[in-house]
Structure 1
Amino acid sequence: MFTLDAISLRLGGHVILDRASAALPPRSRVGLVGRNGAGKSSLLKLIAGVYELDGGRIEAPSGTRIGYVAQEAPGGSATPFETVLAAAEERAALLAEAEHAMDAHRIAEIHERLNAIDAHGAPARAARILAGLGFSEEAQHQPLETFSGGWRMRVALAALLFSEPDLLLLDEPSNHLDLEAALWLESFLKTYRNSLIVVSHERDLLNHVVDYILHVDHGKATLYAGNYDQFERQRRERQAQAAAARASQEAKRKKLQAYVERWRYKAHTARQAQSRLKALSRMEPIAEALDDASLVFDFPSPKETKPPLLLLEDASVGYVPDTPVLSGLDLRIDPDDRIALVGRNGNGKTTLARLLAKQLAPMTGRIAASGKLTVGYFAQHQIEELVADDTPLQHMERLLPGAKPGEVRNQLARFGFSGDKVSVAVRQLSGGERARLSLALITRQAPHILILDEPTNHLDVDAREALVQALAAFAGAVIVVSHDRHLLGLIADRLLLVADGTVREFDGSLDDYRDSVLSVAKSGKGNGKAPGPKVNRKEKRKAAADARERTKALRKAVVQAEADMKALTVRRDALDADLVNAAPTEASALMKQRGALTRDIEEAEARWLEASEAVEAAMSEVYA
């Protein structure tokens, strides 16, 4: 049993953890979740011994080996393979002792222990882990100093996995990984034999790997049995119960307050009024789940344009003359496309994204774009390029010269920046807020195509879910590079494999691609193509275009119904605000207006549902 007993932590004068407690069962695999800034990483550092407790105790079984990735990436002339092997400290010490041991009995003990820890199989196991994390056989034997920081962090992760600690601590292990390495890591952790605590915003990893969720919120920790989806259900139930309790408490508070106001100054009832006043003062408010601006994503709808949006014919692209990164590119992008770019890091996914975003011109071949095509391109580095001392409002005004103040603020409000938040300096914004600001900036012209390169890196699980929903509602094309399989599974219906210097359609689903990646990682062979029958992509693309043309009126109806629902809901919310302070004589008329608005909303919802189902049915025939 691993126990957190009333632990407290303060950092920079702020309370991060406040007498938080939890008892983790032996050999449990725990997902550590919570909103950004809740204290997840800090808790992990407390367990690892990096931070010292301000109160409470952390108890673990005697002799527990705790493994945690250091902040600094390994470097120097050692190779990844040598670094990973060196992580098995007991093996290294025994081998060194065996070279000089003279006593026959001790030599026998050493070899018996080496056999017990499978020391002779260690080199093969180290190579498999490195290969799973994306290192080719050649790369495994190159000096660490020749790798970037991200690749060296992969080596640190490989060394930690290889060492097999009794308690494995992982803090966002997918952050430096591509989709392929993230898939392998998930597969590896599923079979990890010891205890595991992982901080992650990857919903699929939390669903497939862990059997407990430890939720950190407002300084406290609550343990839930099950995976992330089961935790979500339990949390919603608790929130519903809290909302019901809050409503009951508010009704009781109003009743007490009314009694006090009426009778507190009457002599014969003053005592009773005073007792109720004391009851009011002792009534602890029940926490309310407030609307969270960090969950606001609303992509503006582009103007309708005829397909194709983009057409590449035998194009090549690169950075050095006569040395293309990708060549032989034949690609068509249509308005309703939802595309995931897959393939190992370094194969050219970002290069292709930059070509489609018009940041690179083709070296050879042809690229044709539709009419007044606009593209919104989100790159990982854009968050770091925001001006630290400028506000979101200043950033947007700079990119929308001549726009009315209301238009500028409306675009920021689509991504959760309203009120005083538009005037906060970027340096004071969290990573997730900066990501939302970047998305607000790149979509200011209602682009026809969104190209997103790892958009979820700074978002927590709830914010990622909000982003998925916003992308699903977006009326244009989406092209995404991401290691978040949950996002890809819900958004992408077309996979483009970037490998071997070119791009080709992947004939299969995301699950097929996962199986292919894991099969290749296990066998060390294969070309990355998923098994299964071939499909005629040309015919399928034509059928999809025909289906889009047939459903044009229906899709317009969907957009109109969505707009109606949004406008009507805004009016009803405003009416609700008026009702709070309305006089009894006004309340009846306002309630009638509210009833009419509710009926209109329900009618708009019915129109939206009918049109959406018709569109989905037409398109499902194509993608069945």
Structure 2
Amino acid sequence: MLSIRDITVRLGGRTIIDGASATLPQNGKIGLIGRNGAGKSTLVKTIIGELDPDGGSVEMPRRARLGYIAQEAPNGTRTPFEAVVEADTERTALLAEAETCTDPNRLGDVHERLIAIDAYTAPARAARILVGLGFDEEMQARPLDSFSGGWKMRVALASLLFSEPDVMLLDEPSNHLDLEATLWLENFLKSYPKTLLVISHERDLLNTVVDHILHLQQGKLTLYPGDYDSFERIRAERAAQAAAARANQEAQKKKLADYVARNSARASTAKQAQSRAKMLAKMQPIAAMAEDASLSFDFPSPDELRPPLITLDLAAVGYVEDKPILRRLNLRIDPEDRIALLGRNGNGKTTLARLLARQLEPMEGGITFSPKIRIGYFTQYQVEELPGDSTPLELMTRAMEGKPPLAVRGQLGRFGFSGNRATAVTGTLSGGERARLALALVTRDAPHMLILDEPTNHLDVDAREALVQALNSFEGAVILVSHDRHMVELAADRLVLVEGGTAENYDGSMEDYIDFVLGRNQPKVETVSAKGGDAPVKKSGAIAREELKALRKKVTAAETRMKRAQAHVDSLLDALADPASAKGDLKGLAVGALGKLHGTAAEALELAETEWLEVHEELETLMGRGK
């Protein structure tokens, strides 16, 4: 059991954690969440002893082993397999002792302990973990120094998982992983037999793995039972209760102030008025839910182009002459396409993205772009490479050279950089703010197509949700590479699988793909009568899978239409409530016109909901027959 008792941590004269306390359940799986900059990593550093708290303590059972990933990635001539196996220090020491020990009694104890800790099955277990994280047999035997930093961090993660500590701390473990490795990790952590504390902004991981949420907010810790969706429901209920309490308090304050104003001058009621004035002065205000600028994503709308935007015709692309990474690429992208690229890291997703972004030329075949197309290409490296000594305003002014200051400020404002935030030094911005700034820069000319390569690595859960909503409201095409399957499921309606040296449309849903990656069994198939007799035979598995794929694709498409319709209705409701806040095409419209649009949008939403219910019921019926 891990207990955090009233700890306070101050850094640079600022209080990061302020008298926080929590007791983690033994063998529980706890997701540590909080906004960017809330102090999550500071809390973890305090737990592992890297930081000394200014007050309070962290307590654990004396013999409990605490495990976490060191900041420095492993390197040297060792192989990933050797590094992982050596992570079990007890096993390594016992095996070394068994080689040199001459005392028969001690040697018996050593072998007994080796059997108890499953030492002889350890190599197979280490290999399984490495395979799950994307290392094939050849990669497991290469020296560590031949790998990039991201792959070395995978080795560090594999070593930690292999060592199986009593309390395991993970800080954004999926940041260096692709979707396939993330799915494997979730499966592994779900069955982890000991205590797990994981910092993550992956909604699916927090829903699949954890059984408690530890929320760090304003320096305080609150432990909630359940997964992330349960936490959000509780938080929404509390926000509604706080809003109702605040409204009630405001009514009381108004009533008290009115009484004081009317009765202070009368001798007969002056005493009562004075008493109520004291009550009014002592009344502590209930804070309203603050608007958070870090949730601002508003992509500018492009002008219309006729389809197609891009056409690939048997194209090949790569980096070394005569050695293409991808061949025989046939792909058409239209203005309203929302495409997610699937496939393990190293299969060529980024290479394809760079070809579409005009950063690479085809080695063979052809690629045709619409003549007036503008493309916005975002990568996580742009976030890391932003100059730390400039301000958002300076960077955007240079990027939008010749544009009036009002247009520059307007583009920054779309992404939450208004007022002082526009003139803050970039080096002082959080990771999430830098990601928003990079997105603001790549969309400055209202691109017809957005190519986003891992856009969520620096964003917390709420900011990711805001980005999904902004993408669904965006009027251009979207190409998405992301290990966040929640974002893929909500923002993409077409899947392209990059593997085997090419890229092809994936005729199935994300659920199908997840089943494929995890090797889950296909649903049972219904039986049909054999021709000329009554003996049942199995329906073709291929046919059953095709039927399920087609229906799941329909469900996904209907769900996407429903979410977009809901977003449109919500934006119209916001505009009706406050016409001055209207954005995009709604800006400047009269209330009457907004009302008519809302009526039409509400009808479209109702139709989309009906379509979704119909196809969903059809899917449930088909799957029910296979049980």
The structural deviation recorded for 1:571 is 2.6
Please say if 1:610 is aligned against 2:615.
no
Q: Matched residues in 1 for 2:263 and 2:590: separation?
A: 40
Report the counterpart of residue 201 of structure 2 in structure 1. 201
Q: Matched residues in 2 for 1:497 and 1:318: separation?
A: 17
Matches within 5 A, 1:85-484: 85-264=85-264, 267-484=267-484
Report the counterpart of residue 513 of structure 1 in structure 2. 513
Q: Matched residues in 2 for 1:107 and 1:555: separation?
A: 66
The structural deviation recorded for 1:408 is 2.4
Q: Matched residues in 1 for 2:112 and 2:567: separation?
A: 71
Structure 2 residue matching 1:319: 3-state secondary structure: coil
Q: Matched residues in 2 for 1:64 and 1:563: separation?
A: 52
Report the counterpart of residue 44 of structure 2 in structure 1. 44
Structure 2 residue matching 1:381: 3-state secondary structure: helix
- Cα distance change, pair 461–79 in 1 and its aligned pair in 2 (3 A): same
- Cα distance change, pair 268–18 in 1 and its aligned pair in 2 (3 A): same
Mapped contact 1:16–1:219 kept (Cα < 8 A): yes
- Cα distance change, pair 608–315 in 1 and its aligned pair in 2 (3 A): same
Identify the range of structure 1 (34-43 vs 267-276) with the bigger mean alpha-carbon deviation: 267-276
Q: Matched residues in 2 for 1:460 and 1:229: separation?
A: 15
Normalization by structure 1: what TM-score?
Answer: 0.87
Report the counterpart of residue 582 of structure 1 in structure 2. none
- Cα distance change, pair 493–560 in 1 and its aligned pair in 2 (3 A): closer
The structural deviation recorded for 1:597 is 8.2
Report the counterpart of residue 586 of structure 2 in structure 1. none
The structural deviation recorded for 1:613 is 5.1
- Cα distance change, pair 70–364 in 1 and its aligned pair in 2 (3 A): same
Q: Matched residues in 2 for 1:558 and 1:255: separation?
A: 39
The structural deviation recorded for 1:43 is 1.1
- Cα distance change, pair 355–492 in 1 and its aligned pair in 2 (3 A): same
Mapped contact 2:314–2:328 kept (Cα < 8 A): yes
Report the counterpart of residue 504 of structure 2 in structure 1. 504
Q: Matched residues in 2 for 1:432 and 1:561: separation?
A: 28
Q: Matched residues in 2 for 1:112 and 1:563: separation?
A: 68
The structural deviation recorded for 1:601 is 5.2
Provide Cα deviations, 1:479-530, integer angstroms capped at 9, x if missing partner.
Answer: 100111111111222221212221122232212222222229xxxxxxxxx9
Report the counterpart of residue 571 of structure 1 in structure 2. 579
Mapped contact 2:29–2:210 kept (Cα < 8 A): yes
Normalization by structure 2: what TM-score?
Answer: 0.86
Matches within 5 A, 1:24-63: 24-63=24-63
Q: What is the letter of the counterpart of residue 120 of structure 2?
A: H
Structure 2 residue matching 1:222: 3-state secondary structure: strand
Unaligned runs of 5+ residues in structure 2 are 521-541, 583-588, 620-627
Structure 2 residue matching 1:446: 3-state secondary structure: coil
Mapped contact 2:378–2:452 kept (Cα < 8 A): yes
Mapped contact 2:472–2:564 kept (Cα < 8 A): no
The structural deviation recorded for 1:361 is 1.5
Mapped contact 1:512–1:531 kept (Cα < 8 A): no
Identify the range of structure 1 (94-103 vs 122-131) with the bigger mean alpha-carbon deviation: 94-103
Mapped contact 1:455–1:482 kept (Cα < 8 A): yes
Q: Matched residues in 2 for 1:6 and 1:288: separation?
A: 27
The structural deviation recorded for 1:93 is 1.5
Mapped contact 2:375–2:449 kept (Cα < 8 A): yes
Structure 1 residue matching 2:352: 3-state secondary structure: helix
- Cα distance change, pair 492–72 in 1 and its aligned pair in 2 (3 A): same
- Cα distance change, pair 241–392 in 1 and its aligned pair in 2 (3 A): same
- Cα distance change, pair 484–232 in 1 and its aligned pair in 2 (3 A): same
Identify the range of structure 1 (253-262 vs 345-354) with the bigger mean alpha-carbon deviation: 253-262
Q: Matched residues in 2 for 1:285 and 1:475: separation?
A: 42
- Cα distance change, pair 438–619 in 1 and its aligned pair in 2 (3 A): farther
Report the counterpart of residue 586 of structure 1 in structure 2. none
Identify the range of structure 1 (169-178 vs 356-365) with the bigger mean alpha-carbon deviation: 356-365
- Cα distance change, pair 366–72 in 1 and its aligned pair in 2 (3 A): same
Identify the range of structure 1 (456-465 vs 489-498) with the bigger mean alpha-carbon deviation: 489-498
- Cα distance change, pair 83–508 in 1 and its aligned pair in 2 (3 A): same
The structural deviation recorded for 1:565 is 5.3
Q: Matched residues in 2 for 1:99 and 1:457: separation?
A: 46
Identify the range of structure 1 (431-440 vs 381-390) with the bigger mean alpha-carbon deviation: 381-390
Q: What is the letter of the counterpart of residue 103 of structure 2?
A: D
The structural deviation recorded for 1:559 is 11
Structure 1 residue matching 2:305: 3-state secondary structure: coil
Q: Matched residues in 2 for 1:347 and 1:308: separation?
A: 26
Q: What is the letter of the counterpart of residue 298 of structure 2?
A: D
Report the counterpart of residue 16 of structure 1 in structure 2. 16
Identify the range of structure 1 (157-166 vs 597-606) with the bigger mean alpha-carbon deviation: 597-606
Structure 1 residue matching 2:366: 3-state secondary structure: strand
Mapped contact 1:569–1:601 kept (Cα < 8 A): no
Q: What is the letter of the counterpart of residue 447 of structure 2?
A: P
Q: Matched residues in 1 for 2:57 and 2:571: separation?
A: 54
Unaligned runs of 5+ residues in structure 1 are 521-529, 575-595
Mapped contact 2:473–2:564 kept (Cα < 8 A): no
The structural deviation recorded for 1:25 is 1.5
Q: Percent identity?
A: 60
